[in-house]
Amino acid sequence: MDTTRTLGRSGIEVSAVGCGCWAIGGEWQDPDGQPLGWGRVDDDESVRAIRRAVDLGVTFFDTADVYGTGHSERVLGRALGRRRDEVVVATKWGNVFDADTRTLTGGDDSPAHLRRALTASLRRLGTDRVDLYQLHLADAAPERAAELRDACEELVAEGLIRAYAWSTDDPARAAVFAKGPHCTAVQHALNVLTDAPEMIRLCEEADLASVNRSPLAMGLLTGRHAGRRPLPAGDIRSRPPAWLRGFGDGSGADPAWLARVDALRDVLTSGGRTLAQGALAWLWARSPRTVPIPGFRSVAQVEENAGALEKGPLTDEQMTEVERILAR
């Protein structure tokens, strides 16, 4: 397998698997106390994991200003240090937060906030440019998004960003950004349990990369949630918001979703793969445009995800078998 992919029309080359940096932001919340992080983190372990990923050939790191209300960006910047130029850094804007209380306070879709947010992200990341800058307001109005797209083009011209994208699951919204010359990707949910054929079609037609969040279905495809154990209070999955599928009443993973994972286990773990590696292999076979960004909080998780590269994508026969199993 070619272990690299191109970020759409930008020509920017990245490793075929990236690192999603949401979890390393640590605990944060909404104004009602709803957890929005993945629980407590060890920053030193996060730094070791990022550096190990780079050593293993991972060159794509995706974060957001709101993850840990700035903490994820600071940890990523600290970890990369002088190796910044070896990698491609993606971050996001649109959310407003109070870093002192680690609380999300709202959203701001104005062009003025776009520039302010970028300035703050550059400072936290310790860099002079962002390679892929992504709108983080999934349901922003298409008319306003067109303004933001044009503002992003100005930032490209100034050398502050190299390319931009929208993090949204709505193909019609993504298509608005795709009209911009330097829009090169869309970030959207995609995994073996939740396909997104319309978004894949848009990526192919508009020459965009499909950056895949939740490639391991928020952990369901790692095999670590089979015991229905309650999750820690600071973990978003302990009180899942409406959009977070697969985790029900706070007592752990939904049994119906776990049954689907079990049904897929044999085909995904073929060829000596772990379950997580099989889930990544499905994504690579799904389209040559996919770039999964599994989350991590440890060196071991990074090593497992990067280890999927040498095993490559699932075969056509295996993809057909997955379809057959899920259709039952």
Which sequence positions are flagged as catalytic?
67
Instruction: Report d(CA 76, CA 63) in Å as an integer.
Output: 8
Instruction: Report d(CA 48, CA 173) in Å as an integer.
Output: 37
Nearest Cα to Cα of residue 313 among 277, 266, 262, 274: 277
Instruction: Report d(CA 254, CA 93) in Å as an integer.
Output: 32
DSSP 57: T
| DSSP H helical ranges for the chain | 43-55, 71-80, 111-125, 142-157, 171-178, 197-206, 255-268, 275-286, 299-307, 316-327
Q: Are 164 and 172 in contact (CB under 8 A)?
A: no
Give residue 170's identity as a one-letter amino acid code.
D
Nearest Cα to Cα of residue 286 among 197, 188, 211: 197
Which residue in the block uniquely carries the two structure tokens 């909080």? 297
Q: Are 24 and 14 in contact (CB under 8 A)?
A: no
Q: Are 14 and 291 in contact (CB under 8 A)?
A: yes
